[in-house]
């Protein structure tokens, strides 16, 4: 254990709690910070050390991992006066696993390089289930030497770890992921609405279609929740809306029109207007329930 780097973990939410827990279980010394300390209490009870700010976490750690809510949170945590880059040691590595803006990832990497700090943007996919079961897909951008050093940590939290290229590449890859999910959730909701409206048993329909050409992770893992009326978040609607905004802005800046993504965002905006921001992404089905 003495040879293991000290890990700082900032952001103990739906995903972060499990991810940090896996690192702790693997024997890594862990320092944690979260805006609401009570969410980190389980980790503290297991031996993690609490710090009062992101800067204090950074000062103690060799590798600092963050998974927070929105790009403005990322900016505050990394670039604020008591933030990570102002306090991290030269030679340390910072890893942002939030889904955030590619250009912000590049900015953080530039500022980190000046201070002799390695920087990676490494957003994840797999939701709460993937985080709990340590089988997240992790898409990584940044300098390749830092990636190789951090890879053993990624392997504790996920199963599909792919280096995508320079800073911002992980975030661009996550946008590809979210674009695919957005249209997929529309398709799943409409498929199950059609099954119900036509008098079929949707659970039986799912048995036929999930292993065929229509199959997807969302279809197999989220549709059973929908059919049970379980709209608890594996990934919040409000965070998905944030991701879609980032993807649309990034695409627009490249001169790329994505009509499917824009339609999905319109539907999720309607869902949020109904007060469902804190539901999981599978709650899109609620928009169709009035017709059934």
Give the active site residues: 174
Alpha carbon distances (Å) from 191 to 19, 202, 216, 288: 33, 9, 13, 10
Burial class (CB in 10 A: 0-12, 13-18, 19+), 82: middle
Burial class (CB in 10 A: 0-12, 13-18, 19+), 128: middle
Rounded to whole angstroms, how far apart are CA atoms 276 and 105? 29
Give the residue ranges of DSSP H helices in the chain: 16-25, 41-45, 54-60, 71-79, 102-114, 127-132, 144-157, 169-197, 202-209, 217-227, 237-253, 259-273, 286-289
Which two structure tokens, joined as six digits, stand for 212? 């065929």
CB of 30 closer than 8 Å to CB of 60: no
């Amino acid at each position: 254990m003495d040879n293991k780097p000290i890990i700082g973990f900032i952001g103990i939410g739906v995903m972060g709690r499990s991810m940090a827990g896996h690192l702790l279980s693997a024997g890594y010394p862990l320092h944690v910070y979260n805006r609401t300390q009570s969410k980190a209490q389980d980790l503290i009870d297991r031996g993690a050390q609490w710090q009062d700010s992101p800067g204090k976490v950074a000062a103690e750690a060799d590798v600092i991992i963050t998974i927070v809510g929105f790009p403005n949170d990322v900016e505050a945590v990394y670039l604020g006066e008591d933030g990570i880059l102002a306090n991290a040691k030269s030679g340390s590595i910072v890893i942002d696993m939030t889904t955030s803006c590619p250009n912000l990832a590049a900015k953080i990497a530039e500022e980190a390089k000046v201070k002799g700090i390695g920087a990676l943007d490494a957003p994840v996919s797999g939701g709460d289930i993937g985080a709990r079961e340590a089988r997240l897909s992790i898409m990584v951008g940044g300098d390749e030497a830092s990636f190789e050093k951090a890879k053993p940590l990624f392997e504790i939290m996920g199963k599909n770890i792919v280096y995508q290229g320079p800073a911002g590449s992980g975030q661009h890859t996550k946008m590809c992921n979210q674009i695919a999910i957005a249209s997929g959730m529309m398709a799943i909701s409409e498929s199950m609405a059609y099954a119900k409206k036509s008098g079929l048993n949707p659970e039986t329909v799912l048995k036929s279609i999930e292993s065929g050409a229509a199959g997807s992770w969302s279809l197999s893992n989220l549709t059973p929740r929908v059919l049970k009326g379980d709209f608890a978040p594996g990934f919040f609607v409000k965070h998905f809306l944030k991701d879609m905004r980032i993807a649309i802005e990034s695409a627009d800046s490249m001169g790329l029109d994505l009509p499917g993504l824009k339609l999905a965002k319109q539907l999720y905006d309607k869902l949020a207007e109904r007060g469902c921001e804190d539901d999981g992404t599978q709650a899109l089905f609620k928009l169709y329930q009035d017709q059934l």
